[in-house]
Each structure stands twice: as structure tokens, then as C-alpha cells.
Amino acid sequence: GRGTLRSDLLGLISAVASADFDFGRVKPLRKSALADEADDALIWDQVYNAVTESTPPPRPVASSIQQTPWLRNTSSFANSSEHRKYVDDVLKEELGPMYVGLRNFHETYFGDVADLETASEAFFKQCQEGSNPLFDEG
């Protein structure tokens, strides 16, 4: 999808209501959700697959200017207040949707990593060592 999960789900609902919807797109989601031993991570993967398949890509906007296309990205901005108001929109274009506060994210994606806490602490200490540390009093 290209927006929030809520907007992507609303798009999926609209697509399902259309006469030409291919129900094969949501079959893996239905199968995962109705499994005897449901796997939450797999269900959410299937939700993502269902909404991204049913969300059409944005339509290109025809330009009336017949010149070299102008591409925006954060590297094109000078450090001036004049351009700062546009940075948020450009970052959203570059990074795509970002989700905050996902329940059980850490446990779901990192829960099976053995000794993650110990390894991450050791790695962080290495980042603070040497004559030119990667992390310093921050």
C-alpha cells in the first residue's frame, strides 16, 4: 500500500465490492486467518499482500511542461528556511509509509534471535571505542 494501513484496508474493501475483483488475491489471507493454529506474523504478511495487490499504483500526472523532468529528493535541498517547508513531503515520497506503535513488533521480528540483548550491547560498545568512534556521548 501507499498510505496508512487503515486507508489501504479501506481500498481493499472498495476493491472487494467491485464486480471484477479477483477473490484469489485474498485466498491466502483467508487461509492463514482460519488456520487451526493461526500465526499472527503470517496473517499480517497476508494482510499486507492483500492490500498491496488491490491498491493500484498512483497514476502518472501528465506534465504540461515539455522539458527535462524535475526529480525531487532530499539531496536537492539547500539548507535554507525557504525550502524546509517542502522537506516533509519529499521525505514521505522517498521513504513511503511509516508505521509507529506496532504492537509486539520487537517480539515478532526479533524474539527468536538468540542473545540479541547481549550481542547488541557488545556491538554498541564497539561503536564507542577507538580514536574515531561511530557513537560518542549522544
Give the number of residues written for the chain: 138
| Calpha distance 111→33 (Å, rounded) | 22
The sign of the CA dihedral 87, 93, 94, 100 is: positive
Structure letter (DSSP) for residue 11:
H
Confidence of residue 1 (pLDDT cuts 50, 70, 90): very low
The pLDDT tens digits for 13-71 are: 888 787 777 888 888 888 888 888 888 888 888 888 888 765 455 555 554 444 555 55
Residue 101 has pLDDT above 60, yes or no: yes
Hey, what's the cell of 101?
Answer: 506503535
Q: pTM, whole model, 2 decimals?
A: 0.37
* Amino acid in position 47: V
Q: In this structure, are residues 2 and 55 in contact, taking their beta carbons and an 8 Å threshold?
A: yes
